[in-house]
Amino acid sequence: MENHFNNQRVLITGANGFIGSHVVQRMVQEKALVSVIVRESSDLWRIEELKKDIDIQLVDLRDTLSIDKCVKQIKPDFIFHVGAYGVDSRQKDYYIAASTNIIGTMNLLNSVKDIGCKKFINVGTCMEYGDKTEIIQENSCLKPDSIYGSTKASASIIAHQIAAENNINLVTLRPFGIFGEKEGSHKFFPYIILSILEGKEVNLTPCEQYRDYCYIENIMDGFVLAAKNEDIKNEIFNIGSGEIFKLKHFVDIIYKEVGLKNQPNYGALPYRTNEVWRQQPDTTKIKSLLNWQPNVSLEEGIKRTINWYQANKEKFIGTKR
């Protein structure tokens, strides 16, 4: 099968983040001509070994003129817009969230509308939906309960309106829980794995919340399928395994995989104030329209993730990564 991205100009925002770094890796593997947009202050440790294969543009998404110049200079065939503020729950500044997530997205689309591109992949988030007891479909009511969720929801609505008006081939993918290599140490899976590897106590909430967690490489497959498909435009897709489990279920698999018999300290931490208790995506649409399936099982994904942290634990010791 021909390589769809071979020698195609691909622009990736948020390339230094967990998801963005995996997009960079996949596009380098696909032999694309990769340009990335990162802020000057960004720590590029996740893409360190890929630096020689990519063009790095030090630009802030909020800087309208610089983004316009950058996009028009690169003239990308494909854009993967992954950059966002607030993914880390410690990022709570309302103004930075709005200017990065909403204005930043508008800046990109405003530049693209003059030059065109084959596909603009807008990466949304399940946080746009908020807490839901029912199974979440793409047309479910958006009731975000964080500044991250609300600015991302706003950005998605505006992006689709601008794309429709200017005939930009745009698709939004809304991932649910993702785990895998290179995730930040404060996140659920890495926190547990690194604590175990370093012989530290694992302090958790009672872990009764339900989550859908899907391995990062499965998510990347979905990104690639969405970008390749020229016929499907102005659509929104949920992407996740479609199955939810209590957080305890994932903890049990990690403990089993590392061969530990003991338990973490459940209940040592309180639940968050606006805790999301349940989010189960309906993934029928992406499976039927894009023919996507998660190929790597939960257990296999966890095994690969543990192996990566075992081999790279020194990257995290004494840092805030």
In sequence order, what DSSP letters do the residues of 242-262 get, joined into one string? S--EEHHHHHHHHHHHHT--S
**Whole-angstrom distance, CA of residue 171 vs CA of residue 174:** 10
Check if CATH label 3.40.50.620 holds for domain 180-212+243-280+297-315: no
Question: Which pair of structure tokens corresponds to residue 136?
Answer: 């979440």
9-178+215-239 to CATH, choices 3.40.50.720, 3.40.605.10, 3.40.50.11900, 3.40.50.20 = 3.40.50.720
Q: And the tokens for 220?
A: 């990347």
At which residue do the structure tokens 């897709």 appear?
Answer: 237
User: Which CA distances in Å does 205 have to 98, 188, 264, 270?
Assistant: 30, 11, 10, 6
Q: Where are the domains of the chain?
A: 9-178+215-239, 180-212+243-280+297-315
In which element (H, E) is residue 307 found? helix 298-312
Distance CA 203, CA 194 (A): 12
pLDDT band for position 1 (cuts 50, 70, 90): very low
What are the tens digits of pLDDT across the range 116-127? 899 999 999 999
Q: What are the tens digits of pLDDT across the range 117-155?
A: 999 999 999 999 999 999 999 999 999 999 999 999 999
Per-residue pLDDT reduced to its tens digit, 63-72? 999 999 999 9
Does residue 122 contact residue 128 with C-beta atoms inside 8 Å?
no
d(CA 233, CA 194): 41
pLDDT grade, residue 274 (50/70/90)?
confident
Identical fold for domains 9-178+215-239 and 180-212+243-280+297-315, yes or no, is no
